[in-house]
Structure 1
Amino acid sequence: MITVLAARVNRRTLLLGLVVLFVVGNGLSAVAPDLAFLVAFRFIAGTVQGAFFGAGAVVAAYVYGPGRGDKAFATVMGGLTVATIVGSPLGTWIGQSAGWRAMYAAVVALGLTAGAALVAWLPRTDDLHGTPVASELGALRRTNVWLMVAVAALGISSIFAVYTFVGPFVTDAAARDASVIPIALAVFGLGMAVGNHVGGRVADSSAHRGVVWGYGATLVLLVVIGVGGERLAVLLPCLFGVGAAMMFAIPTIQVGLTGFGPDAPTLMGALNLAALNLANSLGAIGGAVTIDAAWGPLSTVWAGFVLTTAGLLLYVATIVRVGSAAVPALR
């Protein structure tokens, strides 16, 4: 919604405004008086992500120059993986050491640093002006766009059926100390970084390999975690593998979305992030259902298995429906 409402706004101005909203949301979270206020303030901070990613991808494409959109997208996704490698473990450690309020205060400091970097290095130019709202909205009338969003939301949900429950995997299933949790999160993030790098290259050369191979490998790894994840020697490599396999698929999904909506690049980037956020909810909810059923901490992977299987089947059905030739961005 923010992306659509701000369609005509210069992308530099939009990114700076979103940073301000991010800082405000996290600053309020740090001083929240109770859980209800904290949830509301987290919602405010969370509204930023999709619009920031969509606008950021467009700005990165401008900075890289014509014909390097895939590289630009992979770079922006690289920021997400660095945040997973460093930010999540560091935030967990700060929360464990100094409390959750200190953790949110650290996030505010990072937001201010990001805003200063944008002011210092992002050029002021009319080339970053937005497009008419009608142009962006027109892409939403295409069935194929929504099919790709569903493929992403269903398939990538297994990331969050795993990542959300890394703590219980380590402490309950593997019976290790909570100090191992940041290490497990970092291992997962390293896998995401590797998968994003390789997946960006594959998305340039193959129409479907990223999603089919990425989702397929994830399904195998989920089974391994479900069967033997109580051993740390099995769990950690599989966490790396799930992060790598899922991120291997995401650049191909973005290329597909761009191919179905070439006249709305900002909205397609935002939709991709919206799909990832929906996947976050689906994976976490599915995992919570299995835990609530008393099937054990590792049972969350089976919720992810079901959801990713549905995403893969929908993707195959979409390929059959449209064919590669129907999408200019897919080769």
Structure 2
Amino acid sequence: MPFALYMLALAIFAQGTSEFMLAGLGPDIAEDLNVSIPAAGWLTSAFAVGMVVGAPLMAAVAARWPRRRALLAFLIVFLLVHVVGALTTDFTVLLVTRVVAALANAGFLAVALAAATAMVAPDAKGRATGVLLGGTTLACVAGVPGGAALGELWGWRAAFWAVALVSVPAVVAILRSVPAAPPGAPSAGARRELRVLRRPRLLVALLLGALVNGATFCSFTYLVPLLTEVSGFGSAWVPALLALFGIGAFAGVSVGGRLADTRAVPVLAVGGPVLLAGWALFALGAGVPVAAAVLVCVQGALSFALGSALIARALYGAAGAPTMAGGFATAALNVGAAVGPWAGGAAIEAGLGFRSPLWVSALLVAAALAAAGAARAVRGAPAPRVPDASAPAG
């Protein structure tokens, strides 16, 4: 894999850390800026909305730019708004920086997916996707706990400075290592790329990616109360168990991306039912600490393996629309990341207990399998016969 690809992953690591770190910094931000804790939660919601809306929008904006210019523009904006966020004493300004950071993050990821797949051999798109998404999983393993530790030691602003500093070497590396555009492949433009995105197979892959990612974040969001209230782990075990989920996710995204290049159909055909069974088994066995610990890692690996394989297949299926495909893939993942936690929270609020998000995750994966089966049946159905108008009636 090219060196520049790992620098893109470093930038995505910084962006993933920024997206998730507020979960541990909200109370400190609320106290420092004199707002309520629910108001501080708007910072997370603003970022999520910016990612969903920004992914296709920023991809369309960047569709005619050279990729190096687009990556640099998005990453420098992302870096600068974190500097502003670290310096501001006004909550409204901080809220605006989160929206702008999300737009820049969404645009960067969309272009990075296109750039990464252009830098490798045509049959290595899955591995390239796995390297990029590995930056997100490493953010779960190291970035988020690291941001929380910095916030504990030096205040929440230190975490914002750290994200900005981690982005600096990626800016330099992109400037020196990423080609402006793939040789002989000028951008097709947003309108032409959008025509490619109408292909049913691609739309199905994006739908499945949203459902699988929704299942992942539905359970991940409520993993802490599940492990402490149902599995019986003490709070001291929580960081290790979250890291275990991240380690599984990193392994899954690496293996899933690699297998997507050569064995995508077996990965999806076998991985989907196994993932569904895993969520159901987790729900049934959550009260057994050893089983819960094992399944935290296993489900992290399966979820991200399947998710990375689906995104890789979407990129394979949209070779004529690399930038917009990356944008819509990013939007699909974030739709899932928004809907999944909402559905899990609704189940808890309905009095179904902390196991209920696991059952919701199982239902979302079941919906993905049903959608995949329906799409396969439609593709395999014989085309309707059209009567020959020139043939005599009767």
Smaller-chain TM-score bracket: 0.7 to 0.9
Q: How does 1:71-90 map to 2 (within 5 A)?
A: 71-90=127-146
Match of 2:366 in 1: 309
Match of 2:339 in 1: 282
Match of 1:52 in 2: 108
Distance 1:218 1:91, change over 3 A: farther
Distance 1:246 1:198, change over 3 A: same
Question: Alpha-carbon deviation of 1:175?
Answer: 4.4
Where does structure 1 lack aligned partners over 5 or more consecutive residues? 324-331
Distance 1:43 1:225, change over 3 A: farther
SS at 2:188's partner residue? coil
Report the Cα distance in structure 2 between the residues aligned to 1:46 and 1:193, rounded to whole angstroms: 23
Match of 1:145 in 2: 202
Larger Rg over CA atoms:
2
Report the Cα distance in structure 1 between the residues aligned to 2:175 and 2:252, rounded to whole angstroms: 31
RMSD in angstroms over aligned alpha carbons? Answer: 2.6
Where does structure 2 lack aligned partners over 5 or more consecutive residues? 1-56, 381-394
Pick aligned residue for 1:227 from 277, 284, 294: 284
Q: How does 1:134-283 map to 2 (within 5 A)?
A: 134-283=191-340
Match of 2:354 in 1: 297
Question: Alpha-carbon deviation of 1:213?
Answer: 2.5
Match of 1:15 in 2: 71
Distance 1:190 1:34, change over 3 A: same
Question: Alpha-carbon deviation of 1:122?
Answer: 2.6
Pick aligned residue for 1:322 from 363, 379, 384: 379
SS at 1:56's partner residue? helix
> Taking structure 1 as the reference length, what is the TM-score of the superposition?
0.86
Match of 1:114 in 2: 170
Question: Alpha-carbon deviation of 1:281?
Answer: 0.6
Report the Cα distance in structure 2 between the residues aligned to 1:207 and 1:69, rounded to whole angstroms: 12
- Which residue identity does 1:10 align to in structure 2? P
Report the Cα distance in structure 2 between the residues aligned to 1:172 and 1:163, rounded to whole angstroms: 15
> Taking structure 2 as the reference length, what is the TM-score of the superposition?
0.74
- Which residue identity does 2:171 align to in structure 1? G
SS at 1:141's partner residue? coil
Report the Cα distance in structure 2 between the residues aligned to 1:85 and 1:216, rounded to whole angstroms: 26
Task: Determine if contact 2:260/2:313 at 8 Å carries over to the other structure.
Answer: no
Report the Cα distance in structure 2 between the residues aligned to 1:55 and 1:36, rounded to whole angstroms: 29
Summarize deviations over 1:110-142 as a string: whole Å, max 9, x none: 222322332243345673753322221212333
Match of 1:105 in 2: 161
Distance 1:259 1:129, change over 3 A: closer
Report the Cα distance in structure 2 between the residues aligned to 1:27 and 1:60, rounded to whole angstroms: 27
Task: Determine if contact 2:81/2:97 at 8 Å carries over to the other structure.
Answer: yes
Question: Alpha-carbon deviation of 1:66?
Answer: 4.4
Report the Cα distance in structure 1 between the residues aligned to 2:81 and 2:264, rounded to whole angstroms: 39
Report the Cα distance in structure 2 between the residues aligned to 1:91 and 1:70, rounded to whole angstroms: 30
Task: Determine if contact 1:291/1:300 at 8 Å carries over to the other structure.
Answer: yes
Task: Determine if contact 1:22/1:45 at 8 Å carries over to the other structure.
Answer: yes
Report the Cα distance in structure 2 between the residues aligned to 1:322 and 1:104, rounded to whole angstroms: 48
Summarize deviations over 1:17-72 as a string: whole Å, max 9, x none: 11122223433444565666544432322223333223212222333244433332
Summarize deviations over 1:75-117 as a string: whole Å, max 9, x none: 2222222223221232233344444332222222222232233
Pick aligned residue for 2:190 from 133, 136, 146: 133
- Which residue identity does 1:212 align to in structure 2? A
Task: Determine if contact 1:90/1:182 at 8 Å carries over to the other structure.
Answer: no
Report the Cα distance in structure 2 between the residues aligned to 1:213 and 1:31, rounded to whole angstroms: 49
Matched, 1:42 2:101: no
Report the Cα distance in structure 2 between the residues aligned to 1:99 and 1:184, rounded to whole angstroms: 25
Q: 278-287 or 24-33, which moves further after superposition?
A: 24-33
- Which residue identity does 2:329 align to in structure 1? N
Task: Determine if contact 2:67/2:181 at 8 Å carries over to the other structure.
Answer: no
- Which residue identity does 2:108 align to in structure 1? F
Task: Determine if contact 1:84/1:186 at 8 Å carries over to the other structure.
Answer: yes
Identity %: 26
Q: 143-152 or 158-167, which moves further after superposition?
A: 143-152
Task: Determine if contact 1:195/1:248 at 8 Å carries over to the other structure.
Answer: yes
SS at 1:156's partner residue? helix
Pick aligned residue for 1:2 from 43, 58, 67: 58
Question: Alpha-carbon deviation of 1:198?
Answer: 2.1
